[in-house]
Amino acid sequence: MASQINNPEGAEAKKAEKKASPKRGVKNPFVYGGTIVILIITVIAFVFIPSIGGGLSSSGSVPTFGSWNGKPITYTSGSYFATQVAQINEYLRQQGLSEQNFQLYAYQVWRMAFQSTAIRTALIDTVSKTGFKVTDKGLDEAVAENAAYQDNGKFSLDKYNKTAMSTRLSIRDSTKTDLIVRRYYEDLYTTSPSTAEISFVASMGKPQRTISYVTLPLADFPQSEVAAWGGKNADLFRSFGVSRITVTSSESDAKKVLQQVRDNKLSFEDAAKSHSKDAYADKGGDAGIVYYYAFSRDFANKDDAAKIAALKKGEVSDVYKLADKVWAFFMVNSELVLPDFSKPAVLEMVSAYLNENEKGTLESWAIAKAGNLASAGDSASFLAAAKKASYSAKSAGPFIINIGNPTFYAYNQQIPLFQSPFVNKDSALLSIEEDEAFMTQLFSQPKGTVSKPLVLGDSVIVFSVTGDKPAEDGDVALVKFAYSYFHQQTIDTETRNTFIKSKKLKDDFNTNFFKIFKTGSQTSSETTTTAAPAAEPAAK
């Protein structure tokens, strides 16, 4: 698999790697041969085989960043982890990434290196359990191709003999694991989609449909309807003044503080300032005027909120549990006031509540309004009904079956699998490619007929199919050509995610990273010249 990434290991190392590759054939042009890259992170993580001669020298003990199936993942001199840190750091610098936020930059480099190492460890463990073994002959041939032993492109016995025994053993060991990883990916990359699968996917881009449509925004829900709904649910919008004291140590501690308040040993205000653990502590616990619907959300048991709201001015509540290890008690500063739905501010609050919690109410209203349009028998009747109801009918398309707009990475950019013939300019249609119900309705609706009302984002849409034609043969051929690359990238991504999300992976990266970079300690004497220029300010 060729890569667009500038080779961080040097041309000789890459040349040696290519020669050392087993002879097993790989048909997919993503593997070892093409110029298209799958994913930058995947390439860095899986394909580059780090040179053994490089690496970072360690100073002192190093932390364990995690483990795979019980095998520790640590940063040591000359390790795969160390080499990945150097390579990824160099790559990101070549791409012009800003190092102004030093710690964030260092985090990105080290996190990617950790994940690459974790996945490599998982691959080796997985292949080893299959019974696969590297033959001595195959290993000898691969070692002979190592850049450390090459002279003018040929194996040099003199260089080999002059290499320290410890280095020879290290090279041999790393070469063996490289061959194991290669074997995994060779088997993976030879998994190709069938001809039937490619044809099926290509056919998704073949039908092209245009529509006339009307959208009814949920935001048009009338103020009269807002007031009517608010009136039926007035209890939610009652308001009252309240103070609170929040305790996070234990329920018994909260009760002790409450008892001190009730015994007048502490005023509520002083108790809040000295014991409360929330945003209102500095204000003596005063939370201001609260609306019941928002107030009740804080409680593990909503009935407890009703008990507090029923208290009279000046009364103090019992201790109630809000969440895990969070208890609170309250003092009512002003009693409940019913909402006045003639006030614009109250209606605005009810509208916000509807949008956040009762969107189905808005959707039901819009669907009912769209009923007359949906009942039109054909496109002409649909347009006439829209005009009569003072709705603006628009045209859009042609659309293709393109749910999710799948893409693959190549030539340093994301390339769509399907070349959409339609450029959308209507914000109401922004979610069409993510909406399976819309796409299903669009391509199952007979031409000239009218759809049922469909919720699409923050609108309800009704449409009529006005045009239906096949795509050009060239467009279909392009999908067939691109699908193999998309399929390969999908396999890579799924493989990576399978390992990263596996229960066998124990991820302690964040804990140890911030111990190192916040306190200023370093795992390597060369960290400041590789990944950790990002960490220098944090080390001061």
Q: For residue 5, tell me if it sits in a domain.
A: no
What integer is the mean pLDDT of 176-201? 86
**Same structural domain, 331 and 409:** no
Domain assignment present for 230: no
Both 499 and 459 in a single domain? no
The structure tokens listed for 169 are 């053993």
- Are 466 and 438 in contact, with CB atoms under 8 Å apart? no
For residue 369, pLDDT beyond 80:
yes
**What is the predicted pLDDT for the residue at 52?**
26
Same domain, residue pair 28 and 145: yes
Q: Which of 371, 358, 379 lies closest to 452, judged by CA?
A: 371
Is a pLDDT exceeding 70 seen at residue 24?
no
Average pLDDT over residues 360-382: 91
**Cα 5 off chain centre by:** 24
Amino acid 519: pLDDT = 47
Q: What pLDDT was estimated at residue 27?
A: 37
Write down the pLDDT at residue 229. Answer: 96
Whether 252 is in a domain gets the answer: yes
On whether residue 482 sits in a domain, the answer given is: no
51 has a pLDDT exceeding 70: no
Which CATH number is 378's domain given?
3.10.50
Band of pLDDT at residue 404, cut at 50, 70 and 90: confident
In a domain, 102, yes or no: yes
Q: What is the separation of C-alpha 198 from the centre of its chain, rounded to a whole number of angstroms?
A: 28
- Checking if the pLDDT of 524 tops 50, the result is no
Residue-level pLDDT at 329: 96
**Residues of the chain with pLDDT > 70: what percent?**
83
- Return the structure tokens found at 433: 């490619």
- Which has the minimum average pLDDT: 34-43, 357-366, 405-414? 34-43
Residue 104 lies in a domain: yes
Shared domain check, 101 and 19: yes
Q: For residue 333, what is the enclosing H or E element?
A: strand 326-337
Domain boundary among 337, 352, 375: 337
What is the structure's pLDDT at 101? Answer: 62
β 207-217/394-399 pair status: antiparallel
Give residue-wise pLDDT tens across range 246-280: 999 999 999 999 999 999 999 999 999 999 999 99
Whether 57 has a pLDDT exceeding 50, the answer reads no
- Give a yes or no: residue 3 inside a domain: no
φ, ψ (nearest 5 deg) of residue 135 = -70, 155
Indicate if the pLDDT at residue 284 is higher than 90: yes
Q: Are 80 and 213 members of one domain?
A: no
Q: How many domains does the chain have?
A: 3
Each residue's pLDDT tens digit, 315-354: 999 999 999 999 999 999 998 999 999 999 999 999 999 9
What is the average pLDDT across 45-51? 31
**92, 105 Cβ separation under 8 angstroms:** yes
Q: Which of 470, 499, 527 is the last residue of a domain?
A: 470
185 lies in which domain range? Answer: 11-194+487-539
pLDDT in the model for residue 421: 86
For residues 291-298, average pLDDT? 92
Residues 83 and 136 in one domain: yes
212 & 183 share domain: no
Looking at the predicted structure, is the pLDDT value of residue 107 above 70? Answer: yes
20/166 same-domain check:
yes
User: How much is the pLDDT for 1?
Assistant: 33
Same domain flag for 157 and 250? no
Confidence category of residue 119, pLDDT binned at 50, 70, 90: very high
Candidate from 20-24, 108-112, 175-179, 507-511 with smallest mean pLDDT: 20-24
Is the pLDDT reported for residue 520 higher than 50?
no
Walk across the sheet containing 326-337 and list its strands: 286-291, 239-247, 326-337, 320-323
Ramachandran angles phi, psi of 307, nearest 5°? -65, -40
Q: What percent of the chain has pLDDT over 90?
A: 45
Q: CA geometry: angle at 361 spanning 295 and 404, to 5°?
A: 100
Looking at residue 299, its pLDDT comes to: 92
Q: What is residue 98's predicted lDDT score, i.e. its pLDDT?
A: 61
Q: Residue 260 is part of a domain; what is its CATH number?
A: 3.10.50.40
Q: Average model confidence (pLDDT) for the chain?
A: 81
Tokens of residue 355, six digits: 């949008």
Q: Are residues 447 and 370 in the same domain?
A: yes
For the stretch 416-421, contacts whose Cβ atoms lie closer than 8 Å and that sit 24 or more positions apart, written own/partner, are 417/201, 417/479, 417/482, 417/483, 417/486, 418/204, 418/205, 418/479, 419/205, 419/475, 419/478, 419/479, 421/208, 421/471, 421/475
Residues 443 and 491 in one domain: no
Asked whether residue 253 is domain-assigned, the answer is yes
Looking at the structure, do residues 438 and 512 belong to the same domain, yes or no?
A: no
> Which stretch, 32-36, 96-100, 492-496, 498-502, has highest mean pLDDT?
498-502
3-class DSSP state of 442? helix
Angle, vertex CA 488, rays to CA 484 and CA 493, nearest 5:
145
